[in-house]
């Protein structure tokens, strides 16, 4: 056991000290930025303070900042490469597992500091020491998710063997995942995909581990209602993917090591040790030596772009399908349209539907077009409104009551022909509603009838 500790210490020393310092500084800046952006303003109760801190850590995990920057700075720096080749020069076996564990230990230590610092700042801001009681859960979950993410960003860095390319691709994939699953604190509304986002997985596991599940609103603290299966599936998928990435990174690392040795053959054959080699001091035939790397990078870029596209298509496509299932046409004109006299009301009733989750809001809208206008020239105002009432209650309204309820609806200035539509208003639940529609005269300039086709539709507000 002691021998392994010594080995890990030696491998940590292979990582560029300059890049380690840069990484720690950037992590401090990132933590401060994410804390201001995601953690402020929620200190009025212990539970709010806890999840405010969790959102800060969630932003760090969701954007992949410590993993993208850390893997790129450590594993793609000239200093680290030179140190690794120097070790190989002494005829000692270079073990990828020890190098990976060394990087992983640094990452977990920093994420531990992030978790502790977040809670300490939370105590100072809220004045409530009780939130420190969740440190074991918050720390354990943060480190667990970090453990899953580290191999994924490691293979990106090793595959590209380039700081700039691995940072660009790493952040592109992270941002795509945030866009598809929702930003910390505000999920996509569908737990089936939301918890594939590290930030939402963190808050969901924290919500369960502190005993809040079933006792408090998951929608409020996590961003969406969920069941336990919604958390288990992403963990299984991320674990499998993480293991595959680790072994993939191991294979690519040794291919890189072979190339690094070729690049530094002149140095290796010399008598003096030199660990500050960079591209400017490497051999002139460097492009030939790196030919396979360039081919691999092009393939990796193509695969990465495909992954980003698949994340967008998968996430947004799923949301569109689910929203399509919620969409309900409660009224539609005949195919040839229908005629309504200027100033007269069209009206109808419908029964709403309850959204599957409190994080999803349903509304009602009217969309249509003017087919023709037999009343001459000019403009009309379009008015659409709905109210939560039964059909019998609607029929019992007198003129004054009707005017008070419906003549304040949304209006739009329309020409003789063209499309019209209202904004989405709601929320809609499983109640009885009445809708009304009218085209209004403008300054006595319009008359006659308008031939229109329109739909009254219930749909999600996220569309």
Closest CA to 46 of 165, 146, 131, 137: 131
Helix, strand, coil in percent for the chain, rounding step 5? 60, 15, 25
Report whether the peptide linkage leading into residue 427 is cis, meaning its omega lies within 30 degrees of zero: yes
Specify the pLDDT at position 31: 85
Under a CB-based contact definition with an 8 Å cutoff, are residues 359 and 420 in contact? no
Closest CA to 70 of 115, 106, 95: 106
Q: Which residue has the higher pLDDT, 70 or 35?
A: 70
Q: Is 19 helix (H, G, I), strand (E, B) or coil?
A: helix
What structural domains does the chain harbor? Answer: 2-325 (no CATH), 328-460 (2.60.120)
Burial class of residue 3, CB neighbours in 10 A (0-12, 13-18, 19+): exposed
Please name the residue that has the structure tokens 């699953």: 181
Closest CA to 52 of 32, 36, 33, 29: 36
Reported as a single tens digit per residue, the pLDDT across 304-357 is: 999 999 988 888 777 777 777 778 888 898 888 888 888 788 888 888 888 776
CA distance 87 to 77: 16
Specify the pLDDT at position 282: 65
Specify the pLDDT at position 369: 84
Structure confidence at residue 139 as a pLDDT band (50, 70, 90): very high
Under a CB-based contact definition with an 8 Å cutoff, are residues 330 and 458 in contact? yes
Whole-angstrom CA distances from 63 to 144, 291, 431 are 16, 32, 41
CA distance 262 to 456: 70
What's the gap between Cα 28 and its chain centre?
Answer: 22
Which two structure tokens, joined as six digits, stand for 157?
Answer: 């860095």
Per-residue pLDDT at 34 exceeds 60: yes
pTM tops 0.95, yes or no: no
Q: Is 443 helix (H, G, I), strand (E, B) or coil?
A: coil
Structure confidence at residue 233 as a pLDDT band (50, 70, 90): very high
Under a CB-based contact definition with an 8 Å cutoff, are residues 355 and 459 in contact? no
């Amino acid at each position: 056991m002691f021998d392994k500790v010594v080995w890990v210490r030696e491998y940590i020393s292979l990582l560029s000290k300059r890049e380690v310092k840069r990484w720690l500084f950037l992590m401090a800046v990132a933590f401060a930025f994410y804390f201001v952006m995601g953690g402020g303003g929620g200190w009025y109760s212990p539970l709010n303070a806890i999840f405010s801190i969790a959102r800060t850590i969630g932003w760090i995990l969701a954007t992949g900042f410590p993993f993208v920057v850390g893997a790129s700075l450590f594993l793609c720096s000239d200093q680290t490469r030179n140190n690794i080749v120097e070790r190989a020069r002494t005829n000692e076996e270079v073990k990828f597992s020890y190098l990976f564990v060394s990087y992983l230990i640094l990452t977990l230590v920093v994420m531990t500091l992030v978790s502790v610092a977040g809670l300490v700042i939370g105590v100072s801001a809220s004045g409530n020491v009780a939130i420190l009681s969740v440190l074991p859960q918050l720390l354990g979950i943060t480190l667990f998710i970090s453990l899953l993410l580290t191999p994924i960003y490691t293979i990106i860095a090793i595959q590209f063997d380039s700081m700039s390319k691995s940072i660009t691709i790493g952040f592109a994939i992270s941002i795509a995942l945030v866009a598809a699953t929702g930003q910390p604190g505000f999920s996509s509304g569908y737990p089936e995909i939301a918890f594939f986002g590290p930030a939402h997985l963190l808050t969901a596991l924290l919500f369960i581990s502190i005993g809040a599940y079933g006792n408090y609103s998951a929608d409020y603290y996590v961003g969406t209602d969920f069941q336990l299966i919604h958390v288990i599936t992403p963990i299984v998928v991320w674990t499998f993917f993480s293991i595959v990435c680790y072994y993939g990174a191991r294979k690519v690392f040794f291919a890189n090591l072979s190339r690094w040795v070729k690049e530094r053959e002149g140095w290796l054959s010399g008598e003096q040790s030199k660990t500050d080699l960079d591209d400017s001091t490497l051999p002139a035939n460097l492009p030939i030596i790196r030919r396979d790397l360039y081919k691999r990078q092009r393939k990796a870029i193509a695969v990465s772009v495909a992954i980003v596209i698949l994340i967008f298509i998968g996430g947004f496509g799923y949301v569109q399908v689910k929203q399509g299932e919620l969409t309900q046409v409660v009224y539609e004109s005949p195919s040839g349209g229908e005629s309504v006299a200027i100033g007269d009301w069209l009206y109808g009733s419908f029964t709403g539907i309850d959204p599957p989750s409190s994080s999803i809001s349903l509304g009602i809208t009217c969309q249509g077009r003017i087919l023709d206008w037999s009343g001459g020239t000019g403009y009309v105002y379009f008015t659409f409104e709905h109210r939560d009432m039964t059909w019998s209650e609607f029929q019992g309204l007198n003129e004054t009551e009707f005017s008070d309820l419906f003549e304040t609806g949304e209006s739009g200035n329309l020409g003789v022909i063209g499309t019209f539509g209202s904004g989405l208003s709601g929320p809609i639940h499983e109640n009885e509603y009445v809708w009304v529609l009218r085209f209004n005269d403008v300054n006595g300039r319009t008359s006659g009838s308008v031939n229109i086709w329109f739909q009254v539709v219930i749909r999600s507000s996220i569309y």
